């Protein structure tokens, strides 16, 4: 076994690898960019070295710099994690050439999977089921059109060298083919430098099911059963689980056998994932092999009881697979979701900023958290905005879903916006609970998963708002008692925490802000007994009795109905949860009114978030139409198109390609009219 390894990655996966290495007594070496000098993977590794600037191209994609650190530090192997250089065959070759073990498959196996067309032909020859289609080199549009008509519609055009959902078009009629082909080729050329496409029969309402495989240097390949990843948004996985609620035992065995055949076809060594598209009739077809560890590998670990990173290390060190196929068990049910710094209500725009507050459920036998950040860390603009992976486990799927809902209710993120409410609605949606969701469902019905608008459930909103008010009142009273006990005259009547004042019998006013909506309330009483008025509502005051706040648990009676709510707060904000719904409020002074301005007036184009300018498409004096693209910025591994708010003439362009800009910075102005 290795004595020291280098991890050529960052964030959550680097911390994950470090945990296993620590368990095995292996010393770890981290690398970091300028933006990651204080990151958790740097703090947790035994030693760490800087390798360049904050952009991935200047640091984590610099294979030569990473190999040089491995040499200097005496690392015997390099673990690439996922993303960055993990599927770069040239990097794997360079690592081996330097006399260092690469903890992953051989470069030759990667290259066989580098082209979707070549991979499909190879799998078909090996007897692995593939979707009917065309993968030939003749890319003449007329020839492709004839092939499309032969295959039949609906049909998918896919970039042969693509990934991440780019360069894909669904065509439902022969008359639509050529326009979609041109669009797909243009996107593929811009994204991947090559515009070759392949054609495939489009499977309606498909499921996405993948099989975890492992191979060793002795030619053994086994599978560790499946993960279902059908809950997707724009081809990006949102929820992953094992076992699949769709597969029968026979289908599971057939897919496992096909995945092993695929592994043998490319002489696969180490961890990999064979991805299949599965029709509603149960027919399954090869999509691709991800030649690395997957983000969702923890669900496989929880249902098999195995440490896949330990297996990776042992296989890379030349050991045989730790277990044969017939020893692999599948017990219980595991589900994974990813907490992101993003704003679902703004098109899932990635966020950045300091994690002012990060509260996650405690880890135990049923809840696992894989994260690369802690409270106080910063989510930067340069990398994926994932905050943590939340993985739950129980004996069956209904109980695992209940664990997921309970765990999400305990999460609170203050700083950048997050997708917690989106995930909570996902975990309760009938298509997820019933196990019927297909890969396109989220995109077709995204509004069903958006955080609830105020008033969708009037009684629920009201109870949460009253609960927040009571929690704030009880907290104020507790702070008053603590201040009184620490004062020189703790028996002073002015120290009594009942809010009573001459002339109005303890009437107190409170104000909160929910999103951009201001909410004002009036309260009378103390010690858990209150009358609460919501001026915006015409109904009579609500009577609260027996309110008690123990830690984060609030119990009370509202108009005679007993409720138990979760209350998380710090004096400036409170998050209420009733087990199904979440209400986040910012406490503000009663007589303070926020001034809000739209991000980008009719004359300005503003940066929606911090980022780097990729291209400027307008100059002073240019005439533009409303909605015309004037600039593109890059942030959080994605490009954002900035468009003119109206027709007019460009007055100023305040940023150039390569510039880093802050959120809300004015980048382009139009001449006033």
pLDDT of residue 505: 47
Q: In the chain, list all ranges with CATH 3.40.50.20.
A: 4-103
Report whether 139 contacts 196 (CB < 8 A). Answer: yes
- 479 vs 241, more confident: 241
Q: Which CATH superfamily, name and number, covers 207-449?
A: ATP-grasp fold, B domain (3.30.470.20)
Q: How far apart are CA 495 and CA 324, in angstroms?
A: 72
Based on C-alpha coordinates, what's the Rg of the chain? 28
Alpha carbon distances (Å) from 374 to 9, 15, 16: 18, 12, 14
- Of 318, 310, 268, nearest to 290 by C-alpha is 268
CATH number for region 604-670: 2.40.50.100
What's the pLDDT tens digit per position in 485-515?
777 766 665 555 555 544 444 688 898 988 7
CATH of 132-201, one of 2.30.33.40, 3.40.50.720, 1.10.3720.10, 3.30.1490.20: 3.30.1490.20
Tokens found for residue 645: 């708010």
pLDDT at 167: 83
Between CA 261 and CA 258 the distance in angstroms is 5
The arithmetic mean of pLDDT across residues 79-93, rounded, is 95
The tens digit of pLDDT for each residue in 317-358 reads: 999 999 999 999 999 999 999 999 999 988 898 888 899 999
Q: For 4-103, CATH number?
A: 3.40.50.20
Burial class (CB in 10 A: 0-12, 13-18, 19+), 556: buried
Hey, how many other C-beta atoms are within 10 angstroms of the C-beta on 660? Answer: 17
Element holding 369 (H helix, E strand):
strand 367-371
Tell me how far apart the alpha carbons of residues 428 and 510 are, in angstroms, rounded to a whole number. 33
**Cα–Cα distance between 78 and 4 in angstroms, integer?**
9
**For residues 509-522, average pLDDT:** 86
Nearest CA to 566 out of 576, 555, 551 is that of 576
The position carrying tokens 């797909």 is 184
Cα within 13 Å of Cα(134), Cβ side: 22
Distance, in Å, from the CA atom of 115 to the CA atom of 190, rounded to the nearest integer, reads: 17
β-bridge pairing 529-533 and 353-354? unpaired
pLDDT of residue 568: 85
Select, from the ranges 339-348, 513-522, 591-600, the one with the highest average predicted confidence (pLDDT).
Answer: 339-348
Distance CA 205, CA 207 (A): 7
HEC string for 552-608: CEEEEEECCEEEEEEEEECCCEEEEECCCCEEEEEEECCCCCCCCCCCCCCCEEECC
pTM of the model: 0.82
Distance of CA 110 to the CA centre of its chain: 26
Percent of the chain with pLDDT over 90: 72
> Whole-angstrom Cα distance, residue 304 to residue 38?
35
For residue 526, how far is the Cα from the chain centroid?
A: 43
- List, by residue range, all CATH 3.30.1490.20 domains of the chain: 132-201
Q: Give the DSSP letter string of 275-319.
A: EEEE-TTS-EEEEEEE-S--TTHHHHHHHHT--HHHHHHHHHTTP
* Positions of CATH 2.40.50.100 in the chain: 604-670
Locate 185 and state its tokens: 């080729």
In this prediction, residue 636 carries a pLDDT of 64
Distance (Å, rounded) from C-alpha 154 to C-alpha 205? Answer: 12
In whole angstroms, how far apart are CA 103 and each of 87, 96, 143, 260, 272? 11, 10, 43, 20, 12
> What CATH code would you report for 458-485+494-588?
3.30.700.30
Point out the residues that are catalytic. Answer: 292
The CA distance from 293 to 104, in Å, is 8
Please tell me which residue, 159 or 165, carries the higher pLDDT value. Answer: 159
Backbone φ and ψ for 181, nearest 5 degrees, come out as -60, -50
Q: Is the pLDDT assigned to residue 61 strictly greater than 50?
A: yes
Q: Where in the chain is the domain with CATH 3.30.700.30?
A: 458-485+494-588
Cβ atoms of 455 and 464 closer than 8 Å: no
| CA–CA separation, 53 and 32 (whole Å) | 9
Count H helices and E strands in the chain, helices first.
16, 39
b/e per residue 624-647 (b: at least 16 CB within 10 A): beeeeebbbbbbbeeebebebbee
Task: Classify 567 in phi/psi space as left (phi over 0), alpha (psi -120 to 50) or beta.
Answer: beta
CA 340 to chain centre: 4
- Residues 610-631 have a mean pLDDT of 91
Beta bridge partners of 660: 612
279-296 mean pLDDT: 94
**Cα–Cα distance measured from residue 89 to residue 108, given in angstroms and rounded to the nearest whole number:** 7
Answer whether residue 117 shows pLDDT above 60.
yes
Domain with CATH 3.30.470.20 in the chain: 207-449
User: Distances in Å between the alpha carbon of 93 and those of 14, 51, 97, 106, 385?
Assistant: 21, 20, 6, 8, 30
- Once rounded to an integer, what is the mean pLDDT over residues 652-668? 89
Phi-psi region at 361: left, alpha or beta (left = phi > 0; alpha = psi -120 to 50):
beta
Q: CA 587, CA 342: separation in Å to the nearest integer?
A: 23
In this predicted structure, the answer to whether residue 273 has a pLDDT above a threshold of 90 is: yes
pLDDT at 453 over 60: no
Over range 640-667, report the average pLDDT.
Answer: 90
Confidence category of residue 452, pLDDT binned at 50, 70, 90: low
Residue of 570, 577, 531 whose CA lies nearest to 553: 577
Give the CB-side neighbour count of residue 66, counting CA atoms within 13 A: 31
């Amino acid at each position: 076994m290795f004595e020291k390894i280098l991890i050529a990655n960052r964030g959550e996966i680097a911390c994950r690898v470090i945990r296993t290495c620590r368990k095995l007594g292996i010393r770890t070496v981290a690398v970091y960019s300028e933006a990651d000098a204080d990151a958790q993977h740097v703090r947790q590794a035994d030693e760490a070295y800087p390798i360049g600037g904050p952009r991935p191209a200047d640091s984590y994609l610099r294979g030569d710099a990473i190999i040089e650190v491995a040499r200097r530090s005496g690392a015997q192997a390099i673990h690439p994690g996922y993303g960055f250089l993990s599927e770069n065959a040239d990097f794997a070759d360079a690592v081996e050439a330097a006399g260092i073990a690469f903890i992953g498959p051989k470069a030759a196996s990667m290259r066989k999977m580098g082209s979707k067309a070549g991979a499909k032909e190879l799998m078909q020859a090996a007897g692995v089921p593939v979707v009917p289609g065309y993968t030939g080199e003749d890319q003449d549009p007329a020839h492709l059109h004839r092939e499309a008509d032969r295959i039949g519609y609906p049909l998918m055009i896919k970039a042969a060298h693509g990934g991440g959902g780019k360069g894909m078009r669904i065509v439902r009629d022969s008359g639509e083919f050529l326009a979609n082909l041109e669009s797909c080729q243009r996107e593929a050329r811009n994204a991947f430098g090559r515009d070759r496409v392949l054609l495939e029969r489009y499977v309606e309402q498909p499921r996405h099911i993948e099989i975890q495989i492992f191979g060793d240097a002795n030619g053994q390949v086994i599978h560790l059963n499946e993960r279902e990843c059908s809950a997707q948004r724009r081809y990006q996985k949102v929820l992953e689980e094992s076992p699949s609620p769709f597969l029968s035992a026979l289908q599971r065995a057939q897919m496992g056998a096909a995945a092993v055949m695929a592994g043998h076809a490319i002489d696969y060594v180490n961890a990999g994932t064979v991805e299949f598209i599965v029709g509603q009739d149960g027919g399954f077809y090869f999509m691709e092999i991800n030649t690395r560890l997957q983000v969702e590998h923890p669900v496989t670990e929880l249902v098999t009881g195995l440490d896949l990173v330990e297996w990776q290390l042992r296989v890379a060190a030349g050991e045989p697979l730790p277990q044969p196929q017939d020893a692999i068990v599948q017990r219980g049910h595991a589900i994974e979701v990813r907490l992101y710094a993003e704003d679902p209500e703004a098109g899932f725009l990635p966020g950045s900023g300091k994690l002012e507050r990060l509260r996650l459920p405690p880890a135990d036998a049923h809840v696992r958290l894989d994260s690369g950040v802690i409270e106080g860390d910063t989510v930067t603009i340069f990398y994926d905005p994932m905050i943590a992976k939340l993985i739950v486990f129980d004996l069956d799927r209904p109980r695992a879903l209940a664990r997921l809902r309970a765990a999400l209710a305990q999460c609170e993120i203050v700083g950048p916006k997050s997708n917690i409410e989106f995930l909570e609605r996902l975990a309760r949606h009938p298509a997820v609970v019933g196990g019927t969701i297909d890969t396109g469902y989220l995109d077709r019905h995204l509004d069903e998963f958006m955080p609830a608008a105020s008033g969708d459930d009037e009684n629920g909103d009201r109870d949460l708002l009253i609960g927040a008010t009571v929690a704030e009142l009880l907290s104020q009273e507790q702070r008053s008692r603590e201040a009184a006990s620490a004062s020189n005259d703790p028996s002073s009547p002015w120290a009594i925490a009942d809010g009573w004042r001459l002339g109005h019998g303890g009437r107190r006013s409170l104000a909160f802000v929910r999103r951009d909506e201001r909410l004002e309330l009036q309260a009378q009483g103390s010690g858990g007994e209150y009358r609460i008025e919501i001026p915006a509502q015409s109904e009579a005051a609500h009577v609260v009795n027996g309110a008690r706040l123990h830690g984060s648990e609030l119990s009370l009676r509202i108009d005679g109905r007993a409720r138990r709510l979760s209350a998380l707060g710090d004096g400036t904000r409170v998050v209420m949860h009733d087990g199904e719904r979440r209400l986040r409020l910012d406490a503000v002074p009663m007589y303070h009114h926020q001034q809000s301005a739209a991000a980008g007036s009719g004359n300005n184009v503003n940066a929606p978030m911090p980022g780097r300018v990729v291209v400027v498409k307008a100059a002073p004096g240019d005439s533009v139409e409303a909605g015309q693209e004037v600039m593109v910025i890059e942030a959080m591994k994605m490009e954002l198109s900035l468009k003119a708010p109206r027709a007019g003439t460009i007055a100023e362009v305040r940023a150039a390609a390569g510039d880093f800009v802050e959120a809300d910075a004015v980048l382009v102005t139009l001449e006033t009219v």
